[in-house]
Structure 1
Amino acid sequence: MTTMYDDLFFRSNLSDYGQLPSPPLAYESPDIIPSGIYPTNDPQAFFSSNYNQDVGQNLVTDGQNYIYLRTKNLSSGAESGKVSLYYTPASLLLYPNKWKDNALKTSDNQTEVFLQAPRAGDIAVTDNPFVWAPNSISGDHYCLISRVSTPKHDNPVPVVGSYTDLTEFILNNPGFGWRNVALVDANSPTFNTTVEYSQGTEAGSIIFQLECTNVPGGASVAFSAGTPGPSPLIVLEKTTVPQNNGSWNTSVTCNVPANYTTNITYSYWANGTQPQPGFQIRLKPIAYFDQSSRFFHQLRSPQELGASPELARRMSAQRGIVLGSHATIGR
């Protein structure tokens, strides 16, 4: 007899509408969404608007892949829960002991993300994506497993030792989702560097400046953090370094809330170029102040801080200070 689940759930495939038992597992949940190497602006609006589609992408080998989860509320009222995401190399039988200890984290090191659906039928999407830089598996793929824990269904990871119990688990637990994911080398960075960032107790406008020294023209750089809060998100999409005389930089300006913390990853693609002697990529958070600040005359002009011509024009009436710095040297 078919009944309906009554809580937040993950679909097995696009034909799954919450019936119990669930459709036979095909490891193709459209609600586990690898979305590429940059976080998505307003994921709630974007991924709820295309709920009838599978918009997941292949994973980029060794890239910082941002992965969102979405659930649908099948109850008669408001529901909320915490979602988790796990990974495992592909296996013919995915017993939970293979993946229960492989929890992925967000940019701010969370293994659980809260979401809520205020009304029956609402689609709830994680605003804080999980982040993963998977290693290559020769000729193979990974499986991702999602889990939602709610007041109505805690959905603990079970101990399963037989295929009969595994069958029961797959068919009668819509609080879990399963998706096989392929790896691609296209767009795989030459290296990533991840550094912790803490805003402190004061909100403010921060310029995140990426400086390239002796980085060959034709190479590419990017940086990003998935943790929501800044406006816009801390993202510089993949940008090609122009032919230069050994020094070039680019930046993004973000309004960052107080007490915001995250990890920022900056990436480099050689694109067939060769590193030059003295190669260096440095990420700097910079704060600027106007003439009303008591610090103004102690600070440096945009030109002195290496601002791009466009940024120097925009900040010409202000002075700034480098609040910190992180570099990757000689790779």
Structure 2
Amino acid sequence: MTTLYDDLFFRTNMWDVGQLPSPPDAYESPDIIPSGIYPTNNPQAYFSSNYNQDVGQSLVIDGPNYIYLRTKNLASGAQSGKVSLYYTPTSLLLYPNKWQNNALKTSDQQLQVFVQATQPGDIAVTDNPFVWEPSAISGDHYCLISRVSTPKHDNPIPQVGSYTDLTAFILNNPGFGWRNVSLTSANSPTFDTTVDYTQGTEAGSITFQLECTNVPGGASVAFSAGTPGPDPLIVLEKTTVPQNNGSWNTSVTCDVPANYQTNITYSYWANGTTPQPGFKLRLKALSYVDQSSQFFHLLRTPQQLGASPELARRMSAQRGIVLGSHVTIGR
């Protein structure tokens, strides 16, 4: 008779239904999901709907890769837990001492993410992805290791020193997942820059504006943050810079909740172009207000703030202020 695990678990491969011991091969978990260089809208709905598929992608070298974890609830009732994610260069024998100190973080610098399944059989997905910018390495492979800790099974990382103990650990611990992942240079940015963003105690509509100065037409830019909360997410997907006279910008406007904190990564792809003298990328956070604000007559028009024609039309009756900015200057 097959014995099933009784808690949140990660599959070792597509054929794993939670049986003990876990079926080989162990390094193919479809529940560790590198999803590309942009966060996913409504990850709970998306990654639970394709649970019968492996939708993981290769890791983009030096890009902000967003990685989601999903677990299935094999407990008899509701269950919750905290998940963690680790990495290591691929090795034939992945003893825990090779990866236990290599924990990845989310955009808001969390080492653990809460997940919850309200019913038996539910799929619980991280709403806050881990983010990682892997460097190129010899062999072009890493291994990602996931861990879920619940009230029923804390699943501490064991001290394993022999291959017999390693075998037992892999086969008898469905609270851990393993995935070998390959690297790709396709879509690797020429560079990216990460900057902290803290909303403060007041919720509000914030325009995130990326200004390109002396950036050649044909290059591309993007920015993103994985931390959930803003509506929509703080994401500008890869956008080609048009031919311009030395100044061009693009933006997204988001409703940001109070006390929100994250890291925003903005990226640049040269795409074979040559940066011009005076090259700058500047990420700004702006707030616009209408005439009911006491500050309206003290602030600047969208055009004065360098808004794109579309944003200037949309904000034509409003005035704005730059709350903060971060610049990368070409040398």
1:312 aligned counterpart, secondary structure: helix
Q: Is the Cα–Cα contact under 8 Å of residues 25 and 170 in structure 1 kept in the other structure?
A: no
What are the residue-to-residue correspondences of 1:230-269 with 2, within 5 Å?
230-269=230-269
1:166 aligned counterpart, secondary structure: helix
2:200 aligned counterpart, secondary structure: coil
Whole-angstrom CA distance in 2 between matches of 1:177 and 1:303: 51
1:265 aligned counterpart, secondary structure: strand
Letter in 1 for 2:87: Y
Say whether 1:42 aligns with 2:42: yes
Q: Is the Cα–Cα contact under 8 Å of residues 219 and 273 in structure 1 kept in the other structure?
A: yes
Structure 1 window deviating more from structure 2 (24-33 vs 61-70): it is: 24-33
Displacement of 1:2 in angstroms is 3.1
Whole-angstrom CA distance in 2 between matches of 1:19 and 1:155: 17
User: Structure 1 runs of 4+ off > 4 angstroms?
Assistant: none
Q: Is the Cα–Cα contact under 8 Å of residues 69 and 125 in structure 1 kept in the other structure?
A: yes
In structure 2, runs of 5+ residues without a counterpart are: none
Alignment RMSD, CA only?
0.7
Say whether 1:272 aligns with 2:272: yes
What are the residue-to-residue correspondences of 1:155-194 with 2, within 5 Å?
155-194=155-194
Aligned residue number for residue 90 of structure 1: 90
Letter in 2 for 1:213: T
Aligned residue number for residue 79 of structure 2: 79
2:131 aligned counterpart, secondary structure: strand
What are the residue-to-residue correspondences of 1:1-331 with 2, within 5 Å?
2-331=2-331
Displacement of 1:140 in angstroms is 3.0
Whole-angstrom CA distance in 2 between matches of 1:315 and 1:140: 47
Whole-angstrom CA distance in 1 between matches of 2:81 and 2:257: 25
1:259-282 Cα shifts (integer Å, max 9, x gaps): 000000000000000110000000
Displacement of 1:25 in angstroms is 3.1
Whole-angstrom CA distance in 2 between matches of 1:162 and 1:284: 53
Q: Is the Cα–Cα contact under 8 Å of residues 211 and 281 in structure 2 kept in the other structure?
A: yes
Letter in 2 for 1:308: S
Q: Is the Cα–Cα contact under 8 Å of residues 72 and 121 in structure 1 kept in the other structure?
A: yes
1:214-246 Cα shifts (integer Å, max 9, x gaps): 001000000000000000000000000000000
User: Identity over the aligned pairs, expressed in percent?
Assistant: 85
1:43-102 Cα shifts (integer Å, max 9, x gaps): 000000000000000000000000000000001100000000000000000000000000
TM score, norm. by length of structure 1: 0.99
1:323 aligned counterpart, secondary structure: strand
1:311 aligned counterpart, secondary structure: helix
Q: Is the Cα–Cα contact under 8 Å of residues 114 and 126 in structure 2 kept in the other structure?
A: yes
Whole-angstrom CA distance in 1 between matches of 2:313 and 2:24: 60
1:105-160 Cα shifts (integer Å, max 9, x gaps): 00000010000000000000000000000000133300000000000000000000
Letter in 1 for 2:110: Q
Whole-angstrom CA distance in 1 between matches of 2:147 and 2:223: 29
Displacement of 1:205 in angstroms is 0.3
Q: Is the Cα–Cα contact under 8 Å of residues 2 and 21 in structure 1 kept in the other structure?
A: no
1:229 aligned counterpart, secondary structure: coil
In structure 1, runs of 5+ residues without a counterpart are: none
1:281-301 Cα shifts (integer Å, max 9, x gaps): 000000001001110000000
Displacement of 1:183 in angstroms is 0.2
Displacement of 1:32 in angstroms is 0.1
Whole-angstrom CA distance in 2 between matches of 1:274 and 1:140: 28
Q: How many equivalent residue pairs?
A: 331
Letter in 2 for 1:26: A
Q: Is the Cα–Cα contact under 8 Å of residues 26 and 170 in structure 2 kept in the other structure?
A: no
Letter in 1 for 2:14: L
Whole-angstrom CA distance in 1 between matches of 2:274 and 2:140: 31
Whole-angstrom CA distance in 2 between matches of 1:173 and 1:46: 26
Displacement of 1:330 in angstroms is 1.2
Letter in 1 for 2:192: N
Displacement of 1:26 in angstroms is 3.5
Structure 1 window deviating more from structure 2 (318-327 vs 133-142): it is: 133-142
Letter in 1 for 2:201: T
Letter in 2 for 1:239: T
Q: Is the Cα–Cα contact under 8 Å of residues 216 and 273 in structure 1 kept in the other structure?
A: yes
Letter in 2 for 1:83: V
1:182 aligned counterpart, secondary structure: strand
Displacement of 1:24 in angstroms is 1.8
Q: Is the Cα–Cα contact under 8 Å of residues 63 and 134 in structure 2 kept in the other structure?
A: yes
